[in-house]
Structure 1
């Protein structure tokens, strides 16, 4: 049964979040910034943990802030801390997906004593300054040359890569392990719909990779890095670089998965996450 709740952030913005499932809480930071509904129940993970899923400010049921500067990734950390306090949790198991992993990483850097376990699913890497060479995405994409949609999608990807195109819709099939009707519906629902939030997320000052890396080098919490075998957004090779920055990190590459691994193989995804969330913390 899904419940909804709200809190008032320190700057007065009303923020909404969903509560789904049972068991110990798992605070799940969505990417985008987009309506968090695209996470669903994370492939059935809600049968094992109580998912606490915030709508980031300006998305979903959360209000748009008076100050657009608060859309910045580093400023969103304050909202996650306000939600932790609202839930009455001394320490929290934290999951970040895609761009939400940048928020989760900066939260762990700023509040390491509040993080019990940290799971980063197909994580964005801007917070730690890991660059993805354009050629790496093309090489990974070629592994799907047998797909019927490949010629048009790869042509669009090459054009984006060399700066002559911007047809992001055409490359959408690369984001999924299977480009079927379910993936098409999910893609349509997962689109960000607040351009101010999207632009503000990475505005100047949002990321301080050197300082974030230094703080994360001292993080004692267990960390799971889950990459999708076919994910062009967060290729496994780039996620492996993140592993080197985190003392207690392990890397799992889910076979056949794209950017949303809980859709591609829910059982595999859920087993991986539940096993990690059962690990002992210090």
Structure 2
């Protein structure tokens, strides 16, 4: 079960360009789970709180507020909002904290970042965990359109009209997005406090530049991003997870499983985009089993 914990360390890291990001570390074990949160522009609270319990099982957990969010600096230069620069930032944090080889865990946008990081720095990884993410945005955008179509033709036409006009804040449009969020982002009637805390401090600058106005309409510089062709070069043990109702659907997860040699896939039947909150016991058991096998730790019963 996830629980809110205070980190043992809060470390400021200066990256190229003199900007500051802030890392949070739980525990001091040799085996490190290095978490890359979703967004972009979303503070890491929701992801670090969902995984800090791993310290009870022999793992150190590290997450960080990426540039542009949380306690990190928030520059406004749009040239900074590229996946290539975030890969460099991730490596700078790993080196600054002297983490050595890590179990890299990327959720949503953090999964795209994790894939590009794994391709650029394979020497830094013990394993790769891709959660609720995809490796092919054009195909995922088609899947998002399929999910939107369930709202009905009239609602889809309304959404498309406001999107064409750039009126993303219109109440009718926002109502449709809210419904999609509760179907495909988090299906809990009350969203956990760490999720609400991260969302309340979301920076739309990097999010809009890289993704778009919301989770279901992509206009940013990642809309054509795809790494399916490169995935077969990933050689570390890989776990892929998603929810059956995920905005990044099981179809996209299966594509990654088939492309990465030996990858494992776990689909959580009662979850959408956040199985670690929607089905914490089942999610935790699957994650811990994978980590223990990769790290060579004794099998543990329960969490």
TM-score (norm 2): 0.76
Equivalent residue, structure 1, for 2:292? 278
- The equivalent position to 2:233 in structure 1, one of 180, 199, 218, is 218
Task: Report 1:220-259 matches (<5 A).
Answer: 220-231=235-246, 233-259=247-273
Residues of 1 paired with 2:154 and 2:18: CA distance? 42
Offset, 1:220: 0.8
Which residue number in structure 2 is paired with residue 87 of structure 1? 97
What secondary structure sits across from 1:77 in the alignment? Answer: helix
Where does residue 45 of structure 1 map in the other structure? 54
1:197-208 correspondence to structure 2 within 5 Å? 197-202=206-211, 203-204=220-221
2:160 maps to 1:163: yes
In the aligned structure 1, how far is the partner of 2:179 from the partner of 2:105? Answer: 29
In the TM superposition, 1:186-197 aligns within 5 A as: 188-191=196-199, 193-197=202-206
Deviation (angstroms), 1:35: 1.0
Any unmatched runs of 5+ in structure 1? 142-153
Q: Cα distance, 1:111 vs. partner?
A: 1.1
- For the pair 1:262 / 2:276, whether they are aligned, the reply is yes
Alignment of 1:146-161 (within 5 A): 154=151, 158-159=155-156
Instruction: Give the 3 Å change call, closer, same or farther, for CA 46–126 of structure 1 in structure 2.
Output: farther
CA positional deviation for 1:180: 1.9
- Structure 1, residues 98-146: CA drift from partner, whole Å, max 9, x if none? 111110010011111211100011114446965533464258x6xxxxx
For 2:144 and 2:39, locate their aligned partners in 1 and report how far apart those are by CA, in whole Å.
Answer: 21
RMSD: 3.0
Counterpart in 1 of 2:67?
57
Q: Map 1:20-169 to 2 at 5 A.
A: 20-21=26-27, 23=29, 24-33=31-40, 34-42=42-50, 44-48=53-57, 49-65=59-75, 67-126=77-136, 130-134=140-144, 136-137=146-147, 154=151, 158-159=155-156, 163-164=160-161, 166-167=173-174, 168-169=177-178
How far residue 280 of structure 1 moved from its aligned partner, in angstroms, is: 3.5
Q: 1:280 to 1:50 in 2, by over 3 A?
A: closer
Q: 1:13 aligned to 2, 19, 23, which one?
A: 19
Q: Secondary structure at the match of 2:142?
A: coil
Q: Deviations over 1:50-98 (max 9, x none)?
A: 2111111010000023643122122100011111111213321100001
Go from structure 1 to structure 2 and tell me whether the alpha carbon gap of 1:66 and 1:176 turns closer, same or farther (over 3 Å shift): closer
- Following TM superposition, by how much is the alpha carbon of 1:172 offset from its aligned partner in structure 2, in angstroms? 2.3
Any stretches of 5+ residues in structure 2 without a counterpart? 1-5, 163-172, 212-219, 296-303
**1:93, 1:118 within 8 Å by CA — same for their partners in 2?**
yes
Q: Given the superposition, is the C-alpha separation of residues 160 and 72 from structure 1 closer, same or farther in structure 2, using an over 3 Å criterion?
A: farther
TM-score, normalised with respect to structure 1:
0.82
Deviation string 1:12-47 (CA, Å, 9 cap, x unpaired) is: 110101112453211100001201112242253343
Task: Tell which deviates more after alignment, 257-266 or 61-70.
Answer: 61-70
Distance in 2 between residues matched to 1:234 and 1:129, nearest whole Å: 10
For 2:225 and 2:48, the matched residues in 1 are separated by: 31
